Amino acid sequence: MHRRLLALLPAALMAAAAASTALAAWPEKQVTAFVPYPASTLAGQTVRAFNDAIRGGELLPQPLLVKNSHRHFSRGAREALEAPADGYSFLVLDPAIMGAEAAGHLDFGFEDLTPVAETGRYCMLVVTARDSGIDSLGVLVQRAKSEPGSLVWGANLRGYNHLAGLALANEAEIELPVTQTGGAEESVEALLSGRIAATAMTPAEYFRLAFLPSGAEDPAAPVRPIAYLGGERLLRLPDVPTAQEAGHQVRFCVPVWWFAPKNTPAAAVEAMAGTLQQAAQSERLRKFWTGRDMDPTFLRGEALQESLVRTWEMMEIPAIEALEARPGG
């Protein structure tokens, strides 16, 4: 476990328990949500959905003031990191902060912030060409072990589809040389040409590429998922087993987290977490998560701390290894 998290867990829990009535009137002014990504990203869309639910349910006197950024996420994150810890500034991030921290690209990390809530996540699918003969994770692993280095993984170097492949290769103890393909569409082209054997993509990407407008799976789709890197099978892909069901204890999921600046009053953190939890129970959020094939997780307190630990353990080694990757193939 990340050594700094060992100290963070009990400290955060004691802070929550010590929340007093000092901020009983919270909020006395508008709350700001810093989103260091464009509004079109998953984090940006998530904040917009929560803000809609907050507005519709009148959960706060005023909707959130959302500040998106088109700069590198680290600059927007630092702006929130340095914001007053007065209970009116919050930061929305995904595991990119962990990858950058592990790779040594940041001089701060998620431990320098106060966790508030996790509001949904998506997990990756392992995908192959339908005519490749690799119709299960077991076959992929067996081939990779019997012919080391022969199966190439396609990815956007240092992106989540790259890190997912590294996580799988490490857990299964196999060689999966990585080549630059790009996103889902480009990786499908590489699969069909035989340049790569497998890749990872989000459920939303797979459904866009392999499902009919009616919502049914296209039987003629040239690619297929062989494993889901989440904890339970996807409802829309009930026949696709998880990696764990295939005997490999690997998950690769991308949560959306809310943080506050360090030393934000515990009462404000708890109040904001409670507001988000109320919003998460709305029909607006149910439709949002369902429409994007996300796991509708809502975590706070100890469960959130445990999720941060698991995600760090998932991200740390692949992020470091990804530094050594070079375009090829």
CATH number where 145 lies: 3.40.190.10
Give the residue among 296, 275, 281, 269 at the shortest CA–CA distance from 90.
Answer: 269
Tokens 């307190």 sit on residue: 301
For residue 158, give Cα distances in angstroms to 99, 126, 205, 322, 323: 9, 17, 18, 6, 7
Q: Of 225, 251, 277, which one is at a domain's C-terminal end?
A: 251
Instruction: Assess whether 182 and 201 both reside in one domain.
Output: yes
Whether 275 maps to a domain, the answer reads: yes
Where in the sequence is the domain holding 24, given as residue range(s)?
A: 3-121+253-321
Distance (Å, whole) CA 118 – CA 258:
6
Indicate which CATH number applies to the domain containing 10.
3.40.190.150
Residues 162, 102 share a domain? no
Distance between CA atoms of 25 and 12, rounded to whole angstroms? 22
Q: What is the DSSP letter of 119?
A: E
Where does a domain end: 251, 282, 305? Answer: 251
Find tokens 């700001």 and name the residue.
32
107 & 220 share domain: no
One domain for residues 176 and 229: yes
Same domain, 26 and 112: yes
Q: Is 218 a domain residue?
A: yes
pTM: 0.83
Domain assignment present for 80: yes
Task: Give the number of domains in the chain.
Answer: 2
Position 287 scores a pLDDT of 95
**Helical segments of 175-300, H only:** 184-193, 203-210, 266-280, 283-291
Distance of alpha carbon 130 from alpha carbon 310, whole angstroms:
32
Are residues 192 and 282 located together in one domain of the fold? no
Angle, alpha carbons 318-261-50 (nearest 5°): 80
With contact defined as beta carbons under 8 Å apart, do 137 and 248 qualify?
A: yes
What torsion do the CA atoms of 19, 113, 110, 105 make, to the nearest 10 degrees? Answer: -170
Strand partners, 113: 261
For the chain, the maximum distance between any two Cα atoms, rounded to a whole number of angstroms, is 65
Q: Residue 185: inside a domain, yes or no?
A: yes
At 237, give phi and psi (nearest 5°).
-135, 65
Residue 85 belongs to some domain of the structure: yes
Mark 228-255 as b/e (b = at least 16 C-beta within 10 Å). Answer: bbbeeebeebeebbbbbebebebbbbbb
> What are the E-state strand segments in 124-185?
125-129, 153-155, 178-180
Q: Which amino acid is at 282?
A: S
Q: Is residue 48 included in any domain, yes or no?
A: yes
Selection from 54, 265, 241 nearest residue 137 by Cα: 241
Residue-level pLDDT, tens digit, the chain, 329 residues:
444 444 455 544 444 444 444 455 899 999 999 999 899 888 999 999 999 999 999 999 999 999 998 888 888 788 888 889 999 999 999 998 888 888 888 888 899 999 999 999 999 999 999 999 999 999 999 999 999 999 999 998 888 999 999 999 999 999 999 999 988 999 999 999 999 999 999 999 999 999 999 888 899 999 999 999 999 999 899 999 999 999 999 999 999 999 999 999 999 999 999 999 999 999 999 999 998 889 999 999 999 999 999 999 888 888 888 877 655 54
- Do 289 and 242 sit in the same domain of this protein? no
Has residue 214 been placed in a domain? yes
Amino acid at 139: V
Does residue 206 sit in the same domain as residue 159?
yes
Is 271 inside any structural domain? yes
117 & 260 share domain: yes
Tokens encoding 86: 């007065």
Domain's final residue, options 226, 251, 276? 251
